[in-house]
Structure 1
Amino acid sequence: MSLTNEAGHKTNGTPTSKPLSTGQQILNKGAQMLQSFKPINQMTQHACTFALYNHDMSRQIETHHFITRLNQDFLQSAVYDTDDTNGRLIGIEYIVSDAIFETLPPEEQKLWHSHAYEIKSGLWVHPRMPEMIAMPELKNLAKTYGKFWCTWQTDRGDKVPLGMPSLMMPPQSEGAGVVKPEVVRKRDEEYKVSKEDSMKSRIEIPEPEWINPTADYWRQHNKCFEVDVESTEINVRTEYS
């Protein structure tokens, strides 16, 4: 996909990047001292896992979720491609308890995925946090459902977010959805964790009594969802008091 600049020239999605100017750095420092960042400061968890594009499971990416728990039944996370200072915001994931998920209409449930396998298999980890400390939250997460939209496909080389959001799916236990061993190995070596050790330590996490079959729709029906854009008339309505 190509972008077009103001002069009408194609850029192929590779705009020139300039380093931060001194003035911009001063502005950023001032903002950090004077402004409130309350929503961001509520991010209390960093989880690292993997995600697959629901329309192309051969594309598997490492994802970093910076999570805010709004209450016991609802979490929201900003998803980055890395946890270093140059991490790019590639999407968002919402996570709900099974109690909330059961209240959603079936058409909505099809967009969500279960987390039980991801947690029990040791693929979902909390970097630098001892497993024993993370265990209570892991038990909670095993009974949840997530909806993850990827807005920036950096794995295909996009320099800026292009196109429509893509619905993501979690790793699967069999078939094309199994995460490639080399992808897991790279993550484990970087954070000094072991998927196998994590899986063993989580044996006692109870399996959810019920995983709604409408979730993980692509696994059940071998069909995926794509977002498209269509032109429509603007509804302009003027109201007078």
Structure 2
Amino acid sequence: MASSDEIPGVMPGEGPTAGKPMTVGSQMLDKGTQMLQSLKPVKQMQQHVCTFGLYSHDMNRQIETHHFVTRLSQDFLQCAVYDSDDSNARLIGVEYIVSDKIFANLSPDEQKLWHSHGYEIKSGIWLNPRVPEMLQKTELRNLAKTYGKFWCTWQVDRGDVLPLGAPALMMSPQGVNLGMVKEELLQKRNKKYKVSSEDLIKSRVDIEEPELINKNADYWKNAGKGFAIDIEESDMKRNAPFP
């Protein structure tokens, strides 16, 4: 199955997610294990970012995304991506973010899978909900020079109640033609968090954009082509038997 726009058939269960509602027993089990286990990786998530993702193979398909960010080093961030910031949010993908220094050392073919963040930051599309702009200004300056690779594993906008098929590569918003975020999506997000795109743009006018965005990033802008993933049957690799 390709990462396509094809709408899936009949799904098990009702509502946005397959399966029955959680029982009281399951809820009690979760509460108990939460008190006993460390959950260290989850507790390292220190930022919530709300932005938008565009499907590489069909950039007319655009979704609001919520990234919960862990910093592994000054040059590398990893994000668990959800479809909302509600308690019942669905985990729909993962994004990795690297500095321009790391990106420059990737192979050209690898670079084509990544997108830039400069426009996303400067235009106010990238938002840390409920965090004052002055608090995050230093972080935004650094992020404007980064690159991200985002794989969507659950195409909720297609109506899927399960993560189906191959993952889809996502692109970031850009200030040209297909990269523009639909106005209705942006206004809905801004209304939810009580922000103004115009105010965000003004507050970020002093953030410097990268002097040169690598031409292999945002590959669609130069090539007019995106990427879609197919799943195909393959012979299994078999290791030689142990002596």
What TM-score do you get using the length of structure 2 for normalisation?
0.92
Q: 1:111 aligns with which of 110, 113, 117?
A: 113
Secondary structure in 1 matching 2:63: strand
* Runs of 5+ consecutive residues of structure 1 not aligned to the other structure: 2-9
Secondary structure in 2 matching 1:204: coil
* Runs of 5+ consecutive residues of structure 2 not aligned to the other structure: 2-7
Task: Indicate the residue corresponding to 2:172 in structure 1.
Answer: 170
Instruction: Report which stretch shifted further, 40-49 or 227-236.
Output: 227-236
Distance 2:9 2:102 in 1: 44
Using the TM superposition, give the Cα deviation of residue 124 of structure 1 relative to its aligned residue in structure 2, in angstroms: 0.3
Distance 1:92 1:181 in 2: 25
Distance 2:179 2:210 in 1: 21
Distance 2:85 2:51 in 1: 12
Instruction: Report which stretch shifted further, 127-136 or 18-27.
Output: 18-27
Using the TM superposition, give the Cα deviation of residue 61 of structure 1 relative to its aligned residue in structure 2, in angstroms: 0.7
Using the TM superposition, give the Cα deviation of residue 60 of structure 1 relative to its aligned residue in structure 2, in angstroms: 1.0
Q: Deviations over 1:42-97 (max 9, x none)?
A: 00000000111111111111100000011100000000000001100011000000
Distance 1:106 1:239 in 2: 37
Task: Indicate the residue corresponding to 2:147 in structure 1.
Answer: 145
Q: 2:37 aligns with which of 35, 38, 47?
A: 35
Q: 2:10 aligns with which of 9, 12, 36?
A: 12
Distance 1:235 1:221 in 2: 34
What fraction of aligned residue pairs are identical, expressed as a percent?
Answer: 61
Higher relative contact order (Cα pairs below 8 Å, separated by 6+ residues):
2
Q: Deviations over 1:72-126 (max 9, x none)?
A: 0000000000000110001100000000000100000000000000000000010
Amino acid at match of 2:141: K
Task: Indicate the residue corresponding to 2:200 in structure 1.
Answer: 198
Aligned length: 233
- Calculate the aligned-residue CA RMSD, in Å: 1.5
What TM-score do you get using the length of structure 1 for normalisation?
0.93
Distance 2:182 2:24 in 1: 43
Task: Indicate the residue corresponding to 1:219 in structure 2.
Answer: 221
Secondary structure in 2 matching 1:15: coil
Distance 1:96 1:232 in 2: 32
